Amino acid sequence: MEQHRTRPPKDGPRRGTPTPAHLPPQARRGPDAMRGAAGMPVAVRRGPEAVRGPVAEPGPAPTGRRFPNPRLTGLGGGLFCVAVMLLLGALDALLFGSSLIAYGVLFLPVCVLTALWVRPGDVLTAPVALPIAFGAGLFSVADGSAGFLGSLMGVFTGLATQAGWLYGGTLIAGVMVLVRRVRWVRSRRRRV
């Protein structure tokens, strides 16, 4: 007796149409054979492992705005905080008349973001770059009317008078970095 074969349409076999014999058993059972009880696709692993269960179909992308979560290297984190503090120092000089208090307050979020955005392997470099960034941004805020030496003297005076902001921001970043580092080391030990 001659077996009757029909060609499946280009978009795949339809219900009730026979499939070619050279296909694997899953395809020969029909298009709905790989659906679970809820009508969702089921993931199948080859080999000795069994069927894992229903696979969730991708849903719509979240519509709300998300906070950026970049992963900077140690050098990238240092460059980020130096560039941001230079920019904030210039803005402080423009908007607030070189207020050292405003500059110190603006330094704290930079410390937090740098500690959060440096990748886990380089996280210990974040507190090292922050004092350098604080000093670099002070050049535009510090009082220095007598050329380069006067500007340098203004930076040293700013570092001496605003040490509380510098130490506070670096301490916040240091605590955050230590917590992140401990969590990273524990997660690596669990994986091994």
Residue 94 within a domain = yes
Residue 50 within a domain = no
The model carries a pTM of 0.61
Return d(Cα 23, Cα 17) in angstroms, integer: 14
Cβ atoms within 10 Å, residue 19: 17
CB 114 within 8 A of CB 80: yes
CB 78 within 8 A of CB 125: yes
Return d(Cα 21, Cα 13) in angstroms, integer: 13
Residue 88 within a domain = yes
Each residue's pLDDT expressed in tens, for the chain with a length of 192 residues: 556 555 655 555 555 555 566 766 666 565 555 555 555 555 555 555 555 555 556 655 556 666 667 788 889 999 999 999 999 999 999 998 888 999 999 999 999 999 999 988 888 888 999 999 999 999 888 876 777 888 888 888 888 998 999 999 999 999 999 999 899 888 888 887
Report in angstroms the alpha-carbon separations of 49 from 58, 153, 154, 159. Answer: 24, 71, 70, 64
Residue 66 within a domain = no
**Number of compact structural domains in the chain:** 2
Output the DSSP codes for 120-131.
GGGGGGHHHHHH
Sequence-distant contacts of 89-98: CB under 8 A, at least 24 apart = 89/136, 89/137, 89/138, 89/139, 89/140, 89/141, 90/140, 92/140, 92/141, 93/140, 93/141, 98/140, 98/141, 98/142, 98/143
Residue 19 within a domain = no
Return d(Cα 114, Cα 120) in angstroms, integer: 12
Domain extent for 173: 153-191
CB 107 within 8 A of CB 169: yes
Residue 175 within a domain = yes
Q: Which of 59, 94, 117 is the last residue in one of the domains? A: 117
Q: Which of 117, 144, 179 is the last residue in one of the domains? A: 117
Residue 58 within a domain = no
pLDDT given for residue 29 in this prediction: 61
Return d(Cα 172, Cα 135) in angstroms, integer: 18
Residue 32 within a domain = no
Q: Which of 65, 97, 117 is the last residue in one of the domains? A: 117
User: How many residues belong to the chain?
Assistant: 192
